Structure 1
Amino acid sequence: MNFNLHNAEDFAADESFIAYYLQTDAQAIAFWENWISLNPEKLDEIYKAELILAKLHLQLGEPELSDAFNKFDSFLATSENKTEVEPVKRKKLFNYTKLAVAASLLIISMLGVYLLQLKPIPQEYISYHNDYGKTSTITLEDGSKITLNSNSTLKYPKQFVSDKREVELEGEGFFEISKDKSRLFTVKTNKLNTTVLGTKFNVSAYRNAAHVSVALVEGSVAVELSDKTQKITLKPTEIATVSGNSKQIGKATFSTEKVTAWRKGTLIFENASFEDIASKIYNAYGITIINKTGNNNWKYSGSFDKTDYISIIQNICFAKRINYKINNNIITLNP
C-alpha cells in the first residue's frame, strides 16, 4: 500500500497505524517508526492522526462506540450503491477493527461536533526574561526544559490546557521537549515557528541579529515561516535560517558544539561580520559597539570561554589592528 498518499484521517483509520499508536504490536511499531523516519514530509499528517486517535481513545466509551457502529450501519444501508454488507460482529467490541471504524465515523460526523462543544479555558501566562550575562533553565509543567540565553524572553502558559503546547521566544533558547503524542509543541518567534512532538533543538531569534535560526540536535522538527508561506522538515545536524527580510528558509548542516556553546558560557565567532559581533556582544553583555574604522567587510574568528567583554574587544582590536574607546556602555572602534 502507498502510504505516501494517506492523509491524517487515512492513518487514523488504519489498523496497523492504530496498533503502532497504542504500542501493542511490535511489528507495527517497528514498521511505522521506520516508515516515518524515511518520510519526514508526512510528519504533519502523522501528528494530526495521533491527535485524532488521542481524542477518540480518551473520549469514546463502550456506549458511544456502540452508537457509532449503529450510525455506521445506517450510513452503509442508505449509501447510493445499496451494496449489501455483512453485519459487524460485536462479540469482541474493543479491537483494532472497531477502533478503525469508529475513527472513520468520528472523522465523518462526530469530531466536528465534539470540537464545537469544546469551551476554551483561560490560560495564565508567565513571561520570564534573562538579563545580560545570565542564563537559566526553565521547567514547564509537562516536564519540558528550556535553557534560556542572556537578553532573552520566554512567554509560556502556567499550565497547558488545550490539545497543543505553545510558547513564544525572543532571543535564544535550547529546548528539550517531553514527548506527548496527543499535543504538539510549538515555539513561536518573530519569523519562524517550530513544531515538534518531543526532541532537542536550539532556536536563535534575537531581534537585533542578522538572522533567525533553528538547529536540530535530536529527532525531527517542522519549521515554518510565521506567515505560513514556506515549511520545511529538519533532520539532526540540520539548521534552518532566515536572514534579514528574506521570505525563504535556507537549510544547511551545523556543528552542535559550536551552536550550543553558549550554554557553557562560550562565545564563538566564525568568519563573523561586524554586525554579528556587535549583536552577540550586546546580547551577552549589554555593551553597544560602534564601528568608525571605515572597514565594513569583517570576517573575524575567535572563541572565548567565560571571558569579560574587555578581553574580547582587545583581542578583536589586536587582530584587526584598530583602537577602541570606552564611554559607559558604548565602545567605539577607531582606525
Structure 2
Amino acid sequence: MEVKNIRKLLKEYLLGNATDEQIKTVDNWYQSFENELPVKLSDQEAAATKQEIWEKIAPSITVERKIWTMPRYMKVAAMLAVVAGAGLTYFLLTKKETAPSQIAYTTISTNNGERKTITIKDGSVLTLNAGTTIRIQDDFSKQRNIDIVDGEVYFDVQKDAERPFTITSGSLTTTVLGTAFNINAYKGINKIDIGVVSGKISVARDATTLSVLEKSQGLEYNKETKAFKPVAVDQNMLAWKEGRVILNDISFDEMALLMKKNFGVDIATSDKSIKATKYTTELFTKMTPDDAAEVLAAIHGLKIRKQNNQIFLYK
C-alpha cells in the first residue's frame, strides 16, 4: 500500500469515518504488532518519540469530541512508535554524537632545542619555540582557529575582518583581526604570558573578556589561582627568537622544564635548598647542553655531576 493511502486510512480511522472493512484492516495491522518484540526505549526517548508522533499527526486532523476516542489514538501511536521509534532515536543520538567530529585539525610540533617558522594557508606567519605543539583548524573558510597544546608561539597574523583569528591556550582565548603578538603557554609553567608587538587583541576566559591589549601591552595569567594582571611588554619577550633563553626568577621545576625544552637536558637534584632556589640567568641556544648547565650552576654557586642522561646539581 502506498504511503499516501496509509495516511488517508489512518486519518479516516482516527476521525471515525472508516468503513467496517477499513476498521478491520487497521485492527488486524495493530494486532500483528503484538507478536513483535517491543522496542526498548528509555523514559526520555519514549517521551521524545511520543511528542514527535503527536506533532506530525495533530496538524492534519480536526477532531470532534464526540467522535475522538483515546484507545484508537493510543493504537496508532503504538504502531508508529514500533515502526519509527527506534530509527528516530538512533538518528537523533547519532546526530548529536557525530557533529563535533566534523572539525579537522593539523598538528605541528617542534622538538626540544628546535625552533620553526611556518606560513599557514591565510598567509599568517607562526614561529614556534622549542618543545611546542599546536593544532591548526584545516577549514579556514569561516573562522581561523589555532590551539596551543604546549609551548610558545609568535604570531604575525594577516588581517581579515570577515574571519577573526582565534588562539586557545589552556583556559584563555585570544582573538585578533590582524596583529603581531607572543603567547607563552608551556604546560609545566604555572602562568601564561601574552604580549602585543603591534595591533590589538582581546583575551578572554570562558567567554568573559579579561583584557583588550594594544601595542607594548601584555597580560600575565596565573593558571592555579586564575588571577591576572596587565603588564608592560618585557624587552626580552622575544629573546627566544634571537637564540637567547631568559630565566627570570623562576622555580626549579620551571627552570628544569625550560632546560629540557631548549637544550634537551634533564636537570635534577636531591637537595631541598636547591629545589627551593629561584633561578635567573641568560643562556644561548647555540650552547651545548653541558655548557648551558655549567653556566647555570656557576651563576648560582652550584656544581654539576653527570649521571646517565641526567645532570645533577649539588653544592
Q: Give the alignment's TM-score, normalised by structure 2.
A: 0.63
1:277 aligns with 2:255: yes
Task: Quote the Cα distance in structure 2 between the aligned partners of 1:291 and 1:156.
Answer: 38
Aligned: 1:297 with 2:277: yes
Q: Does 1:241 align with 2:220?
A: yes
The Cα of 1:192 is off from its aligned counterpart by 1.5
The answer on whether the counterparts of 1:129 and 1:154 sit within 8 Å (CA) in structure 2 is yes
- Counterpart CA distance in 2 for 1:239 and 1:173 is 15
Q: 1:178 aligns with which of 143, 155, 158?
A: 158
Q: Deviations over 1:36-82 (max 9, x none)?
A: xxxxxxxxxxxxxxxxxxxxxxxxxxxxxxxxxxxxxxxxxxxxxxx
Match of 1:255 among 234, 249, 257: 234
- Secondary structure (helix, strand or coil) at the match of 2:178 reads coil
Equivalent pair of 1:273/1:300 in contact (CA under 8 Å): no
SS, match of residue 259 in structure 1? coil
Q: Kindly state the Cα deviation for residue 291 of structure 1 after the two structures are TM-superposed.
A: 3.1
What is aligned with 1:265?
243
Match for residue 134 of structure 1 among 114, 123, 135: 114
1:244 to partner: Cα distance: 3.8
In the TM superposition, residue 305 of structure 1 has moved relative to its aligned partner by 5.1
Q: Is the 8 A contact 2:190 2:224 kept in 1?
A: no
Counterpart of 2:185 (choices 205, 213, 218) is 205
Q: Distance in 2 between matches of 1:316 and 1:270?
A: 12
Deviation, structure 1 residue 229: 4.5
Q: Distance in 2 between matches of 1:321 and 1:176?
A: 40
Q: Which residue of 2 aligns with 1:228?
A: 207
Instruction: Give how far 1:290 is off.
Output: 1.7
Distance in 2 separating the partners of 1:120 and 1:333: 48
How far apart are the structure 2 equivalents of 1:185 and 1:328? 45
Ranked by relative contact order (alpha carbons within 8 Å, sequence separation 6 or more), the top structure is 1
Deviations along 1:122-165, one digit per CA (max 9) or x if unpaired, are: 45421111111111112111101100111111111233022x21
Q: Post-superposition shift, 1:230?
A: 4.9
Aligned-pair CA distance for 1:215: 1.0
CA contact (8 A) 1:210 1:275 kept: no
Q: How many residues of Structure 1 are paired with residues of Structure 2 in the alignment?
A: 214
Work out the CA distance in 1 between the residues paired with 2:159 and 2:208: 27
- Cα deviation code 1:245-264 (max 9, x no counterpart): 122222111224x1111112
Q: Tell me the SS of whatever aligns to 2:220.
A: strand
2:141 maps to 1:161: yes
What is the TM-score when the length of structure 1 is the normalising length?
0.59
Structure 2 CA distance, aligned partners of 1:120 and 1:326? 49
Decide whether the 8 Å contact of 1:141 with 1:159 is kept in 2: no
Q: Is the 8 A contact 1:230 1:248 kept in 2?
A: no
- C-alpha distance in 1 between matches for 2:164 and 2:249: 37
1:168 aligned partner, one-letter code: D
User: Mapping of 1:32-47 within 5 angstroms?
Assistant: none
CA deviation string 1:277-314 (max 9, x = no partner): 21211221332222333321324233435222211211
SS in 2 for 1:276: helix
Residue 95 of structure 1: aligned partner = none
Aligned equivalent of 1:320: 300
Counterpart-to-counterpart distance in 1, 2:104 and 2:291: 43
The gaps in structure 1 that reach 5 residues or longer are 1-118
Give the greater-gyration-radius structure (CA): 2
State the shift of 1:231 in Å. Answer: 1.7
Task: Quote the Cα distance in structure 2 between the aligned partners of 1:328 and 1:125.
Answer: 38
Q: Percent of aligned pairs with the same residue?
A: 26
* Aligned alpha-carbon RMSD (Å): 2.2
